[in-house]
Chains A and B, each alone.
Chain A
């Protein structure tokens, strides 16, 4: 239960930060997608039905705050969650570099999913060329942040784990 509250809090905080403070970073229109990092973390470290639904809702929240059409980010994050979960079965190495690389690739998966949905449902003109302008920078920014966020999340989990055992 405490872990669930933690995840809920983290998801809430990440969306909150994305819509406020992260815009202060000198990255132009690019905002590092913390929800993506959390989604990858969940898929990698805590794959479960609740985290899968959590990824979906996190994407949905992002849609509520930013997407012109509901469900796009929900789909993208669900796809990222599934992709990372399926590939994690064949991954045994865990290191900051690996984390960064995985999040970097996940970012490409997410943007690809979004662009595909845009192309199908919104008939967005030049969606790819527009996405390519910022995709690399966004992927790079989350790749840099990923090891730190992974560390913080795992530290928080470890802090809660003894409490969970006691209770």
Chain B
């Protein structure tokens, strides 16, 4: 009998442990065992080691958190870089909008001068030929643009409407050799015609030899051609040459605006609105 127990002592001891376990569970569950005699001892003996290992665990967690933070910082950095890129683009757009706004405001100032009719338009195309200087605007007869109307910008006159379709119009620039505008020298009131040239800058024609004209004299529209309203800036005298022969002086003109850089224009009627300005 004893030999049987000895040969199966592990099994019996295991069974004994099982029975003890079940009795502990039962006692605790039924409330018979209210106080654990060993538990507090175990907890207390383990406490310093747990504290030490927990601090190690916290350190490891801190390191993990640090790496995660670094990772998220890297990600955030990337996102911020993207954002900066987007903001740069947006800023460029805003700069462009600001410049457009400035130009349009200038145009409004021109419009405020009291033209009888003023139509704002945007330049949508340039000349297709080397031999002519023209541009296309996005307003046509539907908007009230008519052939022969003057085209001006904030800086000065641009040209005149040469052809009109329902929603666009072709503008002959002042720099074209076929164009011409009646001008007066602001200082001396001497009259002449500013016209484009294929060879050089626009020139002022029909200035008689006895007229006192100097470089830098401002030229404004006379309003006598029936196309351009009076008093619009055309440009200034850039060169004066009196030859030994002929009736007229050779006068070069530097235009107030560069037609190749115009983006918005105002199509105006030559006559002023008497109720304005």
Contact = CB atoms under 8 A, between A and B. Distances in A.
Interface stretch (B18-26, B184-192, B198-206, B269-277): B18-26
A82 B43 CA distance: 27
Contacts of A151: none
B36 A52 contact: no
B38 A71 contact: no
A81 B39 CA distance: 22
Given A61-B42, A64-B39, A71 B25 contact: yes
Interface string A46-90: 011101110110011100110001111011001101100110000
Interface stretch (B52-60, B154-162, B245-253): B52-60
A16 B51 CA distance: 10
A17 interface: yes
A85 B17 CA distance: 14
Q: Report whether over half of chain B's contact residues are helix, strand or loop; otherwise say mixed.
A: helix
B18 A82 contact: yes
Nearest to A20: B53
B10 A48 contact: yes
A74 B33 CA distance: 16
Interface string B15-51: 1011011111110110001001011001100100110
B-side interface size class: 20 to 34
B21 A56 contact: yes
A70 to B, nearest CB: 5
A31 to B, nearest CB: 12
B17 A16 contact: no
B46 A52 contact: no
B70 to A, nearest CB: 18
B14 A52 contact: yes
A117 B38 CA distance: 21
B9 interface: yes
B61 interface: yes
Contacts of B73: none
Nearest to B64: A24
A70 B54 contact: no
A59 B21 contact: yes
B80 interface: no
Given A23-B57, A24-B60, A86-B11, A15 B46 contact: yes
B143 interface: no
A16 B25 contact: no
A19 interface: yes
B22 A75 contact: yes
The residue in B11, B24, B60, B61 that gathers the most chain A C-beta atoms within 10 A of its C-beta is B24
Interface in A123-147: none
List 7 A-B pairs, minimum CB-CB distance, nearest first.
A71-B24, A75-B21, A56-B17, A71-B25, A121-B29, A20-B53, A82-B14
Given A17-B53, A23-B57, 16 more contacts: A20-B54, A24-B60, A49-B9, A49-B10, A51-B10, A52-B14, A52-B17, A53-B13, A60-B24, A64-B38, A64-B39, A71-B25, A71-B28, A85-B10, A117-B22, A122-B29
Interface of B: 9-11, 13-15, 17-18, 20-26, 28-29, 33, 36, 38-39, 42-43, 46, 49-50, 53-54, 56-57, 60-61, 64
Interface of A: 12, 15-17, 19-21, 23-24, 47-49, 51-53, 55-56, 59-61, 64-65, 69-72, 74-75, 78-79, 81-82, 85-86, 117, 121-122
29 contacts: A12-B46, A12-B49, A16-B49, A20-B50, A20-B53, A20-B57, A24-B61, A24-B64, A49-B9, A49-B10, A52-B10, A53-B17, A56-B17, A56-B20, A59-B21, A65-B43, A69-B29, A70-B25, A70-B33, A70-B39, A71-B22, A71-B23, A71-B24, A72-B21, A74-B17, A75-B18, A75-B25, A82-B15, A121-B29
